[in-house]
Every structure is written in structure tokens, then in C-alpha cells.
Structure 1
């Protein structure tokens, strides 16, 4: 059984922080080939300047308590990835509001018959909503945008896709409260 938990960065045990760093390194640097400089002291871990003490992590943990999915949440009232690195993707200035949060570093293994990625996603939106967010923004690829649409996620673009290195990326906005997400979370809690 896979459990999904939410923790501030400063609440992560040393072992869990290390495992999260390894998982993100495996996904974003090894698999996706992103050119990222890590702020973590040990090699083959991925953390950056947005992983601060109050950063919130949504973590999927397998039966051995190993990370098998993650997402990072930040309020847009502090520096965040879209505003600091990818602001050029937005037709208007990047959001900076207490009711808008950013999700980044979203990834999950295709476990639970392929449903785990959407469990992590819905939990991310729900947590942002529970913290007062009306919307969540993200930088992603058009392929992931199509995946979200296929899975009933409401979204809108903040600008046109742009080519960055070898990928096309796009900034998206999502209502934090979504009916499909509530149904999925309710069904999940009924099964547990």
C-alpha cells in the first residue's frame, strides 16, 4: 500500500530528505536529462534554492517508506520557480498572491495500476486549497498538459509554449478546488 503524506521541508527526517533527493535526481536529471545544479551537499541528490525550511512536499511512500512520488508546493508570495526562472512563459506578470500557490517537481511512478501520479496530483491541489489557495500554477510540458486534460483536470494556459533547451514548456493555472479531485480523494479514503 502506498501512503501519501505532506511535510514541510524542515520536518523531513534525514533519511527521508536523502531519499527524496535521490528520487528527484533519478527522475529529473537521469531520466529526463534536465541540467540542474543541486544545492544539496551530497552528490546524486536534487534540491534547489526553492527547497527552503517552509517548502511543503507531497510524498508518496511505498510499503518500505521509500519515495515513489513527489510534488513541491510554494506560495507565490515568496520566490518560486515560475516567477524566478520561467516568468517569460506568462503573458502577464507571474502571479504573486496569497491565494495562488505553485506546484513543481511533480513526479510519480506508474504504480497502483497507473493511478499513483494522479493521486499525488490531486493531493497536491487539495493541500494547496486547504492552505487557502484558489489556484495553483505550474511549469510543465505540453505532453503533461494533455495527460492532465485526459484525467479530467481543469486548467488554462498562462502563455504560449516555448522551447527551452530540448523541451517545450508551458505555464499552466489550475483551480485548486476541482470536483474530479474531490471525487478521487473521497474514493481513495474509502478504500484505505
Structure 2
């Protein structure tokens, strides 16, 4: 069963998750809000990208990527990521090669890169915050399994790396030590994709849901 289409998945929270390919297939307003959210994170907060207007858009957005987008009930983008096969241009190879250390950059068809991976800082509701992250990661894992992708490589700040590891329980392997970029530390890491990993995440989601339901009933 696809995690993305299961009742368990739909019960996560009132978030809307979509995989959207290419800008001409995305509602213009959603695309604008996604790029504005990226501007908040990667320009204003992390300082990874110089300021150019109110949206953060780069060359890799012209390559037909898939986007994972998580919105709240008000339509605010609260999490997002971009996925591209590493057989072509990638941020890790072409923008952040220092994060590879001494390793060669993966460039096979079965390895995809997650870039511009970001989560809006919590405003007090940590349960909703965690579930938004679980939703986004679960969708990306589901997407990868369904397409025969065997490995996901991500570039992120170290704070998000810790949040993903703690929330999902997925083993994340660093390619090298973190590097200072802008105002924060960046790191590249990978995780293997498999039906077993997807099942483990589904089990974690069930336990997470049961724990929260028990707290609500207490």
C-alpha cells in the first residue's frame, strides 16, 4: 500500500501535500508562495542566497523538478522541498561541492537530490510542526519507492537534519562534516530508500498518532 494514499496518511493533520512537476503545471499562486517561503528561509534566515526580489528562484527550478509542498489550512506554506535526479546538474555537485568532502558526487539515475528543503519555525504547536515534517518526508519517501529511486541525498542546515532524524527515525549518513555557509551550518547526507524504510516510517506514524490521541483523551 502506498503510504501517501493510506487512511493513516490522510489522518496526519489538516495539511495539503502535493507533488508538482514543472512551473507550468503548478498554480501560479502556490508557486509564488513556495518561492516566497524559500526566500524567508534561504535568503533572510540562513543567508545562503543573496537577496534578489521577494522570491528565491534558481537555475535548478528550470530543470523540471518535482516539488513537495506542505500547506496549513490557511494556505500558508509551512514546509517544502525540491527533488531532482542526480544524474544531471545538482546543487551538491555544482553549488555545494565542499559538503562532499573527499567523496565523489553520486550521479546515477537511482539517486535523487532533495534541495531547498525547509520547515517553517514552530509558533508553539509542536505537534503540528512535527507532523508537517513527517508528512513531507513521508511523501518524498513514498514518491521515491514508487519510482524505483534507491537513495535520497539532501543538503540542509544542521538544525533541520536533527529534526528529520529525530522525527522520522530514518538513518541519515553524512557525506562529510558540516560547513559554515551564510549564517548557519550546512550538511549533506543520504538515506536509503526501500519498502522496509517506508513501513518503518508508517509504524512510527501510527505510534505518533496513538500517543497524541492518548494525550488528548487524558
Q: Do the two structures share a fold, i.e. TM-score over 0.5? A: yes
CA positional deviation for 1:142: 3.0
**For the residues of structure 2 that align with 1:122 and 1:72, how far apart are their CA atoms?**
14
Shift of 1:180: 3.2
Aligned-partner Cα distance in 1 for 2:138–2:177: 25
* Equivalent residues in 2 for 1:63-78, closer than 5 Å: 63-78=73-88
Contact 1:4 1:60 (8 Å CA) reproduced: yes
User: Which structure has the larger Rg over C-alpha atoms?
Assistant: 2
Instruction: Give the helix-richer structure, 1 or 2.
Output: 2
Q: Which runs of 5+ in 1 are unaligned?
A: none
The count of aligned residue pairs is: 185
Q: Which runs of 5+ in 2 are unaligned?
A: 1-13, 209-218
Specify which structure has the bigger relative contact order, considering alpha-carbon pairs within 8 angstroms and separated by 6 or more residues.
2
Cα drift, residue 127 of structure 1: 1.3
Question: Contact between 1:108 and 1:120, CA under 8 Å: does it hold in 2?
Answer: no
What is the CA RMSD across the aligned residues, in angstroms? 2.4
The answer to whether residue 98 in structure 2 is matched with residue 82 in structure 1 is no
Q: Say if 1:22 and 1:166 are closer, same or farther in 2 by CA, change over 3 A.
A: closer
1:127 alignment partner, SS class: helix
CA distance in 2 between partners of 1:29 and 1:165 (Å): 9
Instruction: State the TM-score, normalized to the length of structure 2.
Output: 0.74
Task: Return the match for 2:22 from 3, 6, 9.
Answer: 9
Taking the aligned partners of 2:81 and 2:180, their CA distance within structure 1 comes to 23
**Paired residues for 1:56-135 under 5 Å:** 56-90=66-100, 91-109=102-120, 110=122, 112-115=127-130, 116-135=132-151
Q: Determine the C-alpha separation between the residues in 2 that align with 1:165 and 1:30.
A: 10
CA contact (8 A) 1:128 1:176 kept: yes
- 2:192 alignment partner in structure 1: 175
Aligned to 2:211: none
Q: Quote the Cα distance in structure 2 between the aligned partners of 1:118 and 1:145.
A: 13
Give the whole-Å Cα distance in 2 for the aligned partners of 1:157 and 1:130: 25
Q: What residue is the counterpart of 1:27 in the other structure?
A: 41
The offset of 1:56, in angstroms, is 0.3
* 1:48 shift after superposition: 0.6
